[in-house]
């Protein structure tokens, strides 16, 4: 069963589960549609006379960062016009989606639909068999492959360079380059023609990269979460002294002139971490502690030579991914501004 067939199966099961729990009938109007130049997994009609909803289907939604999910849904359309369909939405994620106004159904019978006079909120249904086995992800969205895709997103022309050039710029093996190209081609994100290789859908590639970033790269590169008694500490620090760069809210604030930073993300080599901690009087967050300021220290995954003579800010793509991963509404709004201004 290929990816599209699996998604259709998830949608059919979720529609059946909703009908079983509520007798509300959803009807599929179209699969794999294009709306406003966006590829939509499906369009469904609610009841006989109710409006249609644009559907985003997610397998393993519980392994996806909730901020990423919310942002992706908001990019498709307004919350009352979209529907997230998943294999399983756990209660915590369901509550966060509901708070954000994101409607959803899953194959187990959990649902949130708010289309007055229709209002449904079902939670607590769980799969009969819990499993930790995840669908295999292609090489393009494994940690090493994501480094390559990051380079392509920064410079789409790089796809037409030799494998050796790409490997040198990303510091990954030649075999990985080959597998990334194969995976992107299979996903319909890369084509090879008479003029060479070409990315077919930059926005979709960016969305998929950002979706996988929190748990495939950020989590792997995270040094630790810290805090401090001085919320303004970062204004007294020159990150370049430590070979570091501001990410997240600080980078986004400087790029967009819109956000007032509260939490701090800094990308710093491990060898410089101790010096920064001493200089800024940082301390590790203790279990069950909920400080006013969170400081996320992350080791850069990009080629280290790139950090030489760079500005004090990470690339806008990293700042964007940081904001989405946070799941904070104010950050998601800023992320959209950042994308519109700098990520095309």
Inter-residue contact 8 to 2 (CB < 8 Å): no
Select from 85, 66, 97, 83 the least CA-distant residue to 10: 85
Residues 286, 219, 64, 154: is their CA dihedral positive or negative?
positive
pTM: 0.74
Select from 116, 42, 53 the least CA-distant residue to 79: 53
pLDDT tens-place values along the chain, 344 residues long: 567 788 899 999 999 999 999 999 899 999 988 887 778 899 999 876 668 899 999 876 665 667 777 888 888 888 889 999 999 988 888 888 898 899 999 999 999 999 988 999 998 888 875 544 344 567 999 999 999 999 999 999 999 999 999 999 999 999 999 999 999 999 899 999 988 999 999 998 998 899 889 888 998 999 999 999 998 899 999 999 999 999 999 999 999 999 999 999 999 999 999 999 999 999 999 888 889 889 999 999 986 554 444 589 999 999 999 998 888 888 988 998 999 999 97
Select from 204, 166, 199, 175 the least CA-distant residue to 185: 199
Inter-residue contact 20 to 105 (CB < 8 Å): no
H/E run at residue 146? helix 143-154
In this structure, what DSSP letter does residue 35 have? E
Measure Cα distances from 176 to 147, 154, 172, 196, 205 in Å: 10, 18, 7, 19, 18
Phi, psi of 141 (to 5 degrees): -120, 25
Integer Cα distance of 197 and 192 in angstroms: 4
Please report, in angstroms and rounded to a whole number, the separation of the first and last CA atoms in the chain.
Answer: 34
Integer Cα distance of 163 and 287 in angstroms: 45
The domain segmentation of the chain, as residue ranges, is 3-122, 141-200, 215-342
Please state which CATH class domain 141-200 belongs to: mainly alpha
Domain 3-122 shares a fold with domain 141-200: no
Determine the length of the chain.
Answer: 344
- When the candidates are 3.40.1350, 3.40.50, 1.20.120, 1.25.40, the CATH number that belongs to 3-122 is 3.40.1350
Tokens 């995840």 belong to which residue?
134
């Amino acid at each position: 069963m290929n990816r599209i067939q699996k998604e259709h199966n998830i949608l059919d099961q979720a529609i059946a589960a909703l009908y079983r729990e509520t007798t509300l009938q959803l009807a599929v109007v179209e699969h794999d549609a294009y709306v406003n130049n966006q590829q939509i997994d499906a369009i469904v009609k609610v009841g006989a006379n109710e409006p249609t909803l644009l559907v985003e289907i997610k397998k393993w939604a519980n392994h996806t960062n909730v901020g990423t999910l919310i942002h992706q849904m908001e990019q498709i359309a307004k919350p009352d016009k979209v529907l997230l369909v998943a294999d399983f939405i756990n209660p915590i994620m369901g509550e966060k989606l509901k708070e954000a106004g994101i409607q959803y159904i899953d194959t187990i019978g959990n649902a949130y639909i708010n289309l007055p006079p229709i209002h449904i909120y079902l939670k607590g249904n769980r799969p009969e068999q819990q499993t930790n086995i995840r669908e295999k992800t292609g090489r393009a969205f494994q940690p090493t492959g994501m480094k390559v895709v990051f380079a392509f997103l920064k410079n789409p022309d790089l796809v037409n360079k030799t494998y050796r050039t790409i490997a040198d710029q990303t510091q990954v093996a030649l075999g990985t380059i080959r597998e990334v190209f194969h995976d992107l081609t299979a996903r319909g994100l890369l084509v090879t023609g008479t003029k060479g290789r070409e990315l077919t859908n930059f926005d979709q590639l960016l969305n998929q990269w950002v979706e996988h970033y929190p748990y495939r790269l950020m989590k792997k590169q995270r040094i630790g979460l810290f805090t401090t008694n001085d919320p303004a500490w970062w204004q007294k620090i020159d990150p370049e002294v430590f070979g570091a760069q501001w990410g997240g809210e600080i980078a986004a604030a400087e790029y967009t002139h819109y956000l007032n930073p509260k939490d701090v993300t800094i990308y710093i080599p491990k060898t410089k971490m101790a010096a920064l901690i001493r200089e800024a009087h940082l301390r590790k967050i203790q279990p069950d502690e909920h400080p006013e300021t969170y400081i996320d220290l992350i080791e850069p995954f990009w080629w280290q030579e790139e950090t030489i003579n760079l500005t004090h800010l990470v690339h806008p793509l990293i700042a964007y991914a940081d904001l989405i991963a946070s799941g904070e509404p104010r950050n998601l709004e800023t992320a959209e501004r950042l994308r519109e201004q700098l990520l095309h």
